[in-house]
Amino acid sequence: MQPVDFTTLTAACSEIRANWLPSRLEQVYQRDRYTIAMALRTLEQRDWLQVSWHPQAAHICIGDPPPRSPDTFTFSQQLIHQLGGLALVAIEAIAPWERVIDLQFARRPGESALYHVYAEIMGKYSNVILTDANNIIITAAHQVSQQQSSVRPIQTGQPYETPPKLTGTVPSLSESQERWQERISLVPGAIKRQLLKSYSGLSAALLELMLLEANIAPETSTDTLNPDDWRRLFERWQEWLQALDSNTFQPAWTKDGYTVMGWGVVEKVKNIQELLNRYYSNQIDQQLFSQLRHQLSQKLNNILAKLRNKAQTFKTRLQQSDQADEYRQKADLLMAHLQNWEPGMKEIILADFETNLPIAIALQPDKNAVQNAQSLYKQHQKLKRARAAVEPLLLEVQTEIEYLEQVEAAIVQIDTYQTAEDLRALEEIREELIGQKYLEDPGYRKSSANDPPSTNFHRYLTPSGFEVLIGRNNRQNDQLTFRVAGDYDLWFHAQEIPGSHVLLRLEPGAVAEEADLQFVANLAAYYSRARQSEQVPVVYTQLKHVYKPKGAKPGIAIYKHESILWGKPQLTIQNSK
């Protein structure tokens, strides 16, 4: 992930300063453990200033409005308590070339600041700190105790100390090419590494684009550069410093990230705020997606392994109970042939009533024939009772396994991050598992539990142009089947295989052709656990024949009057390439 460097931070703050000073702070909302959003209003506009102290994605920009879910973080509550209704009157760097921004709040423009919010955009050391006018810390996003850092503790009630000053040489527009070149090439080495070692305020991403623009490979040794190489590179160096001096930037997407310098442009962006908001929202979502998918998969694997072991134990006990009639038969035989028993016998062989075949009956030598028969009758009754007790338990476990396999199939389908909707679909699965008591509630604001039902279904068009909707998780499956579906729609599902609910939307009087039905059957097979199979049985029926059993878990439905088609998931895979 590309970190915010000094250049990007300067560009972002320059644009915010031009458009949002002064502005009134109306609301503070904490999106997650690392991000706050401040609602700012000017005479012309209202929007959200986003400040993040994420260790890999710390940034500041105008961002999207926060969700409607309640904010339960205390840091944001402390900020709004102190700053609510005040004016943001200044956005200043605490010192040249430092990545610490001082957001100053006063009662009204022109008055001295009552509070400072210091946004330290410094990678894994990032933080957001609120102080009063005397720079006494009121609260901080991340408190640092004396034990954690004797150099710079950050604690409520203590004076705010700025980060350690830069020790390296800072770039200057007035520096000549000769002095600049001499400093970089004093010790031969790769040009990118030598630039980073020689000057403060640079980043790897900035240098790579600068060198690319100068047509120099980053690993080129300084002692192999010719005068023309040095000239081109120094021109880019001066171009960078002039942009910083004049606050003139060109935001754009590059092949591997973004730039505010207009170098290596793949696609231009209208402003820096949009650039940073899109990049870091997407990067953080992608990171959360990978973490959450791994967490959910691991949890489900563990739970399913335990349930399958439990089911196997119950099945073994049922197999044992199948011998109940055998114990009764042996007891009956023994009672019918008491005269054949002799004291001390460990086994007796008697002819079966029906087949007349010999049956060996193990005996306890210290008991007589009647007592042995009674033991066999007791064993018969015990095994019968065991079956009556175990069968409902096995059914309960199998139902639970079927439900969790359905959840597992949904996670398998959401295999890669494409858009924020993919993360949302996983978050809905997490909230479902919390609701079903398979996961613990993390204790802080849930991202989707209080949100309106999701409608970001997979969408396709059949050969005849009919719309197909496909649920991405159990919450969406229920929403699709029991809320969205109309009377004329057809419902599809892989037969007795965990998978998505699939809906073929039909208007009154419309008739789906055979090609349409096959197309949807292929999709239903593809969005099931049998995706890798050549052919998958798929059922379809009218919506009036689909029901949700009372008390059933999310995503569970029963159906009748179904027809069957053989779905071919491989055709869907080929068509999607």
| Residue-wise pLDDT tens digits, 84-127 | 999 999 999 999 999 999 999 999 999 999 999 999 999 999 99
Residue type, 146: Q
Nearest alpha carbon to residue 79 among 59, 101, 103, 95: 103
Give the pair of three-digit tokens for residue 330.
């042996």
pLDDT computed for residue 576 by the predictor:
54
Taken in order of first residue, the domains within the chain and their CATH numbers are 6-140 (2.30.310.10), 177-270 (1.10.8), 458-576 (no CATH)
Query: What is the percent of the chain where pLDDT is above 90?
Result: 80
Residues contacting residue 282 through CB under 8 Å, at least 6 positions apart? 420
pLDDT computed for residue 385 by the predictor:
81
pLDDT computed for residue 441 by the predictor:
78
Q: Does position 447 have pLDDT exceeding 90, yes or no?
A: no
Residue 285 banded pLDDT, cuts 50, 70, 90: very high
Per-residue pLDDT, averaged over 128-147, amounts to 93
Contact, 3 vs 257, CB < 8 A?
A: no
pLDDT computed for residue 138 by the predictor:
97
pLDDT computed for residue 69 by the predictor:
83
Calpha distance 274→277 (Å, rounded): 5
Whole-number mean pLDDT of the chain? 92
Give the pair of three-digit tokens for residue 177.
């090419």
Q: Does position 189 have pLDDT exceeding 90, yes or no?
A: yes
Per-residue pLDDT, averaged over 17-34, amounts to 95
Contact, 445 vs 71, CB < 8 A?
A: yes
Nearest alpha carbon to residue 330 among 310, 305, 348, 346: 348
The three-point CA angle 76-77-80 to 5° equals 85
pLDDT computed for residue 83 by the predictor:
97
pLDDT computed for residue 230 by the predictor:
97
| Per-residue pLDDT reduced to its tens digit, 139-182 | 999 998 877 877 788 999 999 999 988 888 999 999 999 999 99
Q: Does position 450 have pLDDT exceeding 80, yes or no?
A: no
Residues contacting residue 47 through CB under 8 Å, at least 6 positions apart? 20, 39, 40, 62
Per-residue pLDDT, averaged over 275-303, amounts to 95
Calpha distance 7→244 (Å, rounded): 7
Residues contacting residue 136 through CB under 8 Å, at least 6 positions apart? 157, 158, 159, 160
The three-point CA angle 28-31-36 to 5° equals 45
Higher local confidence (pLDDT), 174 or 455: 174
Contact, 529 vs 499, CB < 8 A?
A: yes
Q: Please measure the distance between the N-terminal and C-terminal CA atoms of the chain and give it in whole angstroms.
A: 28
Q: Does position 451 have pLDDT exceeding 70, yes or no?
A: no
pLDDT computed for residue 575 by the predictor:
63
Concatenated DSSP letters of 527-568: TBTTTTSS-EEEEEEEGGGEE--TTPPTT--EE-S-EEEEE-
The three-point CA angle 569-575-577 to 5° equals 110
Q: What is the pTM of this model?
A: 0.79
Q: What number of CA atoms fall less than 13 Å from residue 112's CA on the CB side?
A: 3
Residue 448 banded pLDDT, cuts 50, 70, 90: very low
Calpha distance 449→433 (Å, rounded): 11
Concatenated DSSP letters of 208-233: HHHHHHTT--TT-BGGG--HHHHHHH
Q: Does position 328 have pLDDT exceeding 90, yes or no?
A: no
Residues contacting residue 444 through CB under 8 Å, at least 6 positions apart? 33, 72, 73
- How many other C-beta atoms lie within 10 A of the C-beta of residue 276? 28
Residue 452 banded pLDDT, cuts 50, 70, 90: low
pLDDT computed for residue 417 by the predictor:
94
Nearest alpha carbon to residue 121 among 211, 185, 57, 33: 57
pLDDT computed for residue 371 by the predictor:
92
- How many other C-beta atoms lie within 10 A of the C-beta of residue 561? 10
Q: Does position 20 have pLDDT exceeding 90, yes or no?
A: yes
- How many other C-beta atoms lie within 10 A of the C-beta of residue 455? 12
pLDDT computed for residue 453 by the predictor:
60
